[in-house]
């Protein structure tokens, strides 16, 4: 029997990167997976691949976590056999731009705050009551090294990830005694679409972020999430920092020439 047999996992931001990897690896471990993201075609392709690769059922849900009403509608409309979510992976998040705060874009700030903080809160608020009622469940919040160490021109993105870490700690306190566990995972540099999104499709600039060093892969982070989710029920891993060997801090990276 696989460790997550009979469980239902909901992954936000499941159409790429860490979210995609989490959906895949949790399905491999026996979970049925709800994949929530904005890009319908990409989401359905991933869902089909997971079902073919693992034999596990998936449920694609096309939704933008920034739209509270849309999230409420989508989650309330889940088929009855998908409603008892056991594991919520709050992965949806993004960075926009890399500029001094005095030159920052209000639109970029709104997008990061609405996705990284409000989106996480909306999904969590809608899923948590069911977990509490059943007396068990798990929330995994995907944060960032930026939630521990601010770096130049990262201002608002770093602030949103500090908020994720604070919310993880607050959840651990508020949910004490409910049977619901909360894990915060802060990755360092992971090569996904993150930098492409940050630099709005500038692939050359995005590639330069990882030049000369070996970053983490999305699956590296997903494996940590799976480890946390498969501990015995009395074990709660509160906080994880995972870094590539070539990175010592948010600003110190070893690059080979």
Sign (positive/negative) of CA torsion 28, 121, 40, 217?
negative
Residue 248 phi/psi, 5-degree rounding, is -105, -25
User: Alpha helix (H) ranges present in the chain?
Assistant: 17-28, 40-54, 68-76, 106-113, 120-134, 155-174, 194-198, 203-209, 218-229
- CA 250 from centre of chain: 19
Give the pair of three-digit tokens for residue 188. Answer: 């360092």
151 in active site: no
16, 23, 87, 157: the catalytic one is 157
**CB of 27 closer than 8 Å to CB of 104:** no
Residues with catalytic roles? 157
């Amino acid at each position: 029997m696989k460790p997550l047999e009979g469980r239902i996992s909901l992954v936000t931001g499941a159409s790429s990167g860490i979210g995609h990897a989490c959906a895949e690896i949790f399905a491999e471990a026996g979970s049925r997976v709800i994949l929530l993201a904005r890009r319908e075609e990409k989401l359905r392709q991933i869902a089909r691949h997971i079902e073919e690769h693992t034999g596990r059922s998936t449920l694609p849900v096309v939704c933008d976590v920034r739209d509270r009403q849309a999230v409420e509608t989508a989650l309330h409309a889940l088929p009855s056999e998908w409603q008892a979510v056991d594991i919520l992976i709050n992965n949806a998040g993004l960075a926009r731009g890399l500029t001094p705060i005095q030159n920052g874009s209000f639109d970029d700030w709104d997008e990061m705050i609405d996705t990284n903080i409000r989106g996480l809160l909306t999904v969590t608020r809608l899923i948590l009551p069911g977990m509490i009622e059943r007396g068990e469940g798990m929330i995994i919040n995907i944060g960032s090294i930026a939630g521990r160490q601010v770096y130049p021109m990262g201002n608002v993105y770093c602030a949103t990830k500090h908020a994720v870490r604070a919310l993880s700690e607050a959840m651990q306190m508020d949910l004490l005694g409910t049977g619901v566990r909360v894990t915060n995972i802060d990755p360092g540099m992971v090569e996904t679409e993150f930098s492409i999104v940050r630099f709005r499709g500038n692939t050359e600039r995005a590639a330069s972020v990882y030049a000369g060093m070996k970053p983490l892969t999305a699956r590296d982070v997903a494996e940590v999430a799976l480890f946390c989710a498969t501990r015995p029920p009395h074990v709660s891993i509160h906080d994880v920092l995972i870094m590539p060997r070539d990175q010592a801090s948010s600003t110190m990276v070893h690059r080979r020439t």
